[in-house]
Homo-oligomer: A and B are copies of this chain.
Amino acid sequence: MKDLKYYLKEVEEIFAKEVFVAEPKELYEPIEYTLRLGGKRIRPTLLLAADALFGGNIDEAKGAALGIETFHNFTLLHDDLMDRSPLRRGQPTVYCKWDENTAILSGDTMYALAWRYFLRQPSPRLHAILQCFNETGIEVCEGQQKDMNFERSSEVSIDDYMDMIRQKTAVLLAGALKIGALYAGAPDTEVEKLYSFGIHLGLAFQLQDDLLDGYGDTAVFGKKTGQDIRDNKKTYLPLRALQLCNAAQQNELQRLFATKDNMDEEEKVRRVMALYDEVGLKGEVEKAIADEFQKAARTLDDIQADEPLKLPLRELMDTLNGRKK
C-alpha cells in the first residue's frame, strides 16, 4: 500500500534528480541553496497523493509537484527579505547570506522556474491546472499584503485574520491538492471537496503554528517560544484572547501589545502568557484547531474515491495534528 512515506520519497527523488545549477551562477546558486535546504515538502506530497487518489499516473504530475514547491520556496525567499528574517530552517536566509538584490532577482527567477516545471508536461487539463496555480499565487500575494497591513492596524478581527491565513497559507495546500486531482481527471465535485479539505487542513496548520509559538515545548519546538508576543504580532492567540477577556484584561493585553522597547521583553512575554492562562486561551485555541481538523476529516470522508488511496492524506493530517514543531 502506498503510504505517506512513499509519496514523500517520490518527492525527494524528484528534487534529487533535478539540476538547479546554471549560468549566471550569481543567480542560480541562491536558488539551488534554497531548494536544497529541504523542508517538509508538504505541498508536492499532497499534489502527488491527490493525483493518485483519483487514479492518476503520478509521473505525469511530477513537474507540477516540483513547480508548486519551487513556488512555495520563492514566496518564503521574498517573505524572509520583507520580514528581514535572518534564519530559515536553521540556515541563513538568501538576503543575509548574499544581499537584497540577489534575494529579489533569484526569487523572481524561482517563480519563473516554477512555471517552467509546470509547463514541462502537457495535460488535457493544463489550462485549468495553470489557472489554479496562478490564481493561488495571486491569493498568496494578497494574503502576504494583508499580513503586513495587520502589523500597522489596530483593528483586526478574527474574521480578517482567518481570511488572511486562508490566503497566505491554506490556499496553497488546497491548490496543490486541486492540481493533483485535475491531473487525474477527477470530477469537479470531488475536486472541490478536496480543495475544501486543503483549506481546513491549512487553517489548522496555521493556527497550530500560532499555538506553538505560545505553548510549544522549547526543547522540541527548536526555537524560543513567545516570539510573536515580542514582535507584537496579532496572531490568532491575542485576537482570540481579546474575545475571552473582561474589560480590564482587554486593556492590559492591548497595552502590552502596544509597548515597544519600554518593558523587559521576557517580563512582557510572562505577563501576556499569564493573561492567556487566566482566560483559558490554550484550550480555546486547541478547540479551534480540532474543529478545523475535524472539518478536514469529514470532507475527506465524503470524497468519492477508493478508501485505501486516502491513506497518505489521512496520515499527513494525523502527522500535522500531532506535530510539536
Q: Which residues of A contact B (CB under 8 A)?
A: 23-24, 26-27, 78, 81-82, 100-101, 104-105, 107-109, 111-113, 115-116, 119, 122, 126-127, 130-131, 134-135, 137-138, 141-142, 144-146, 148-149
Contacts and interface: CB of A to CB of B under 8 A. Distances in A.
The 6 tightest CB contacts between A and B, nearest first, are: A27-B145, A109-B141, A82-B101, A115-B134, A112-B137, A112-B138
Contacts of A104: 78, 81-82, 104
A101 B79 CA distance: 9
A160 to B, nearest CB: 11
Contact of A127 (B126, B134, B137, B141): B126
A119 B144 contact: no
B122 A134 contact: no
The oligomer's copy count stands at 2
Give the secondary structure class of A's interface: helix
A108 B27 contact: no
A134 B101 CA distance: 21
A134 B148 contact: no
Contacts of A148: 26, 101, 105
A141 B105 contact: yes
B146 A24 contact: yes
A30 to B, nearest CB: 10
B108 A78 contact: yes
A145 B26 contact: yes
Contacts of A27: 141-142, 145
Contacts of A107: 108
A267 B273 CA distance: 65
A274 to B, nearest CB: 34
Nearest to A141: B109
Contacts of A144: 105
Which of A112, A126, A131 has the most chain B CB atoms inside 10 A of its CB? A112
